[in-house]
């Protein structure tokens, strides 16, 4: 891609990597690493014509989540795929899918630690 000076790399991370949670901190740490790797790759390839997008989905109804209780925030893989295509077309750098996760994560990231710990999420 770098030699062709074009292309898009889509990296699938997760909203779980944006703040450490007691219930899934190992998974969250791995996804934080993926997001940081994608950010570094995006910065390294800046100006080469190769675009790197970090996709941060929330709960997706997949085999990985089949044992989870499904709530209002759970979406179908097809919805995520459509969001990824929109992000590629718009040359986004980071995209939360569905879009409402941006608001949720914005709030969670800005909670003081003493309060966040008490939420037990």
CA angle 63, 57, 92 (to 5 degrees): 140
Predicted confidence (pLDDT) per residue in 65-115, tens digit: 888 888 889 999 999 999 999 999 999 999 999 999 999 999 999 999 999
Q: What CATH code is carried by the domain that includes residue 27? A: 3.40.50.720
Question: Domain count of the chain?
Answer: 1
Q: Is 100 a catalytic residue?
A: no
The whole-number pLDDT of residue 83 equals 98
Average pLDDT, the chain: 95
DSSP letters spanning 64-102: GGTTSPP-TT-B-HHHHHHHHHHHHHHT-SEEEESTHHH
- Evaluate whether residue 40 is within a structural domain: yes
67 lies in a domain? yes
Q: Is residue 90, in this structure, part of any structural domain at all?
A: yes
Domain that holds residue 39: 7-119
Note whether 52 and 42 are within 8 A (CB).
yes
pLDDT, tens digit, for every residue of 62-79? 998 888 888 889 999 999
**82 domain-assigned:** yes
Among residues 27, 96, 100, 116, the one annotated as catalytic is 27
Pull the structure tokens for residue 94: 């980071």
1 within some domain:
no
């Amino acid at each position: 891609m770098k030699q062709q000076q074009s292309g898009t790399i889509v990296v699938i991370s997760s909203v779980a990597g944006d703040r450490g949670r007691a219930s899934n901190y190992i998974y969250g740490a791995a996804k934080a690493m993926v997001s940081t790797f994608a950010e570094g790759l995006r910065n390294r390839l800046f100006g080469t014509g190769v675009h790197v997008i970090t996709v941060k989905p929330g709960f997706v109804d997949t085999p990985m989540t089949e044992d989870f209780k499904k709530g209002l925030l759970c979406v179908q893989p097809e919805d995520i795929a459509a969001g990824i295509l929109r992000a590629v077309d718009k040359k986004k750098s980071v995209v939360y899918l569905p879009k409402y996760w941006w608001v949720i994560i914005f709030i969670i990231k800005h909670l003081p630690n003493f309060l966040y710990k008490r939420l037990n999420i």
